[in-house]
Chains A and B, each alone.
Chain A
Amino acid sequence: AQTVTQSQPEMSVQEAETVTLSCTYDTSESDYYLFWYKQPPSRQMILVIRQEAYKQQNATENRFSVNFQKAAKSFSLKISDSQLGDAAMYFCAYRSYGQNFVFGPGTRLSVLP
């Protein structure tokens, strides 16, 4: 079975600085999808960024980018120019085609003013 690991239960970053959240996963599949979701306190979970495993180029969405290392099964999220609104739980998720999503345990990110 696929598993997703986030080894950092909590992280903090100074406003305007850069932070990287780690994610590793275990799979025997060659084609799959990876996601980072954000869950602000008492608010709905929203998609931050996604990556298709067959694409070598790392995905970017404005201040958010990923470092996808397929051989190492690593999928880290980099947040640049951190803002107070970035404070949230961040979940890494894995999905192979047509299968259910597998989420990691999450990393709580605090942004310090």
Chain B
Amino acid sequence: GAGVSQSPRYKVAKRGQDVALRCDPISGHVSLFWYQQALGQGPEFLTYFQNEAQLDKSGLPSDRFFAERPEGSVSTLKIQRTQQEDSAVYLCASSLVAGGPEEQFFGPGTRLTVL
């Protein structure tokens, strides 16, 4: 595809449910990032992949959050036993190479609402 895509665009979950959010990066992009963006705030880093390797997961808020990118392309962010404070927009971004000033291309985000 032409850009980063994310699905679903909107997700409503009942507290305690598990959710899975998908990110399709731009083909060939090495780096993939997940961010959490609360309403009116800047994106907060969650985790970073270089190909299939998860190089940094220091931003994941709890062990209920898990991310994978098994074949170095599509990535899934999973949240187990969702809680109301998990409500946010989850952004995915990819970049062609790793590490430096290269541009990140963002997806449209998945808006998660936990009731």
Residues of A within 8 A of B (CB): 4, 33, 37, 43-47, 50, 52, 91, 95, 97-106
Whole-angstrom CA separation of A91 from B41 in the bound complex:
9
Determine which of B33, B91, B101, B107 lies in contact with A100 in the assembled complex, contact meaning CB atoms within 8 Å: B33
A sample of 5 cross-chain residue pairs with beta-carbon separation below 8 angstroms, ordered by A number, consists of: A45-B43, A45-B93, A91-B43, A98-B55, A103-B43
B49-77: CB near A (< 8 Å → 1, else 0) gives 00000011011000000000000000000
- State A52–B99 Cα separation when bound (angstroms): 13
CA distance A47 to B106 in the complex (A): 9
B18 within 8 A of A: no
Given contacts A33-B101, A104-B42, 20 further A-B contacts (CB under 8 A): A43-B108, A44-B108, A45-B93, A46-B106, A47-B103, A47-B104, A50-B103, A91-B42, A95-B100, A97-B99, A97-B100, A98-B98, A98-B99, A99-B56, A100-B33, A100-B56, A100-B59, A101-B45, A102-B45, A103-B42
How long is the Cα–Cα vector from A37 to B95 in the complex, in angstroms?
A: 15
Supposing A45-B91, A105-B42 touch, asked if A33 and B100 sit within 8 A by C-beta, the answer is yes
Q: Point out which of B42, B56, B91, B108 has the most chain A C-beta atoms below 10 A from its C-beta.
A: B42
- Tell me, in angstroms, the Cα distance from A103 to B30 when the chains sit together: 21
Q: Are B33 and A101 interface neighbours, CB within 8 A?
A: yes
Contact residues of B: prevailing secondary structure: loop
- Closest CB of chain A to B69's CB: distance in Å? 15
The residue of chain B having its C-beta at the shortest distance from the C-beta of A102 within the complex is: B45
Residues 22-53 of chain B, each 1 if its beta carbon lies under 8 Å from chain A, else 0: 00000000000101000011111100100000
**Contacts from B to A (Cβ < 8 Å):** 3, 33, 35, 40-45, 48, 55-56, 58-59, 91, 93, 98-101, 103-104, 106-109
The docked-state distance in angstroms from the alpha carbon of A77 to that of B40 is: 20
Pair B106/A44 contact, Cβ less than 8 Å? yes
Q: Is B48 a contact partner of A105 (Cβ separation < 8 A)? A: no
A52: chain B residues at CB < 8 Å are 101
In the bound assembly, the distance between CA atoms of A78 and B103 in angstroms comes to 20
Q: Which residues of B contact A47 (CB under 8 A)?
A: 103-104
